Amino acid sequence: MKEKLKVYLTDQGHEVSDMGPFSLDEDDDYPDFVKPVAEAVVQDPERRGILVGGSGFGEAMCANRVSGARALVFYGPMLPTGAVDIKGRESQDPYEIVRLSRVHNNSNILSLGVRFIKEDEILEAVRIFLSTPFSMDERHLRRIKKLD
């Protein structure tokens, strides 16, 4: 999936830096690859990171230990149950969590749980993640400052 994402992102005009792994080794440790991604993202506010993992959770936990990294876990589109969208309306958007993470939290890393997501869903989540702007609302800025 990582190789397909690289082609997709390049075709969309994005510059891609692959930080590994470069071959499948079931004994490697994802923190060895995730931490450099998080550090690179934090050093450049215009940069975003995309992590490809089985569940995406361990990768996000690792990334979020780097001060300034704000990783979102995405493991598939879902319609919220009893939830509302940003404007207080009942949401019918299965990618609402990706949008909210950008608008409210200025998430800078998307951690994908590829065992649970189809390729077209991954590409849509990535598209939304990269195209959704942060709101810049004072309350969100204040909260992010406390996180960092």
Is 59 a catalytic site residue?
yes
**What is the per-residue pLDDT across 82-106, written as a single tens digit (0 to 9) for each?**
656 556 666 678 898 899 999 999 9
Q: Is residue 89 part of a domain?
A: no
* 85 in a structural domain: no
In a domain, 42, yes or no: no
Predicted confidence (pLDDT) per residue in 25-54, tens digit: 888 999 999 999 999 999 999 999 999 999
Q: How confident is the model at residue 117 (pLDDT cuts 50, 70, 90)?
A: very high
Annotate the chain with DSSP letters as a single string: -HHHHHHHHHHTT------S--S--TT--THHHHHHHHHHHHH-TT--EEEEESSSHHHHHHHTTSTT--EEEE------SS-B-TTSSBP--TTHHHHHHHHTT---EEEEETTS--HHHHHHHHHHHHHPPP---HHHHHHHHHH-
Residue 130 lies in a domain: yes
* Catalytic residue (choose from 104, 121, 124, 140): 104
Q: Is residue 32 part of a domain?
A: no
| Domain contains 101 | yes
14 is catalytic: no
In a domain, 21, yes or no: no
Record the pTM. 0.91
Look at residue 104 and tell me if it is in a domain.
yes
- Number of domains observed in the structure of the chain: 1
Residue 56's CATH number: 3.40.1400.10
Give the range of the structural domain holding residue 110, as residue numbers without chain letter.
1-12+47-75+95-148
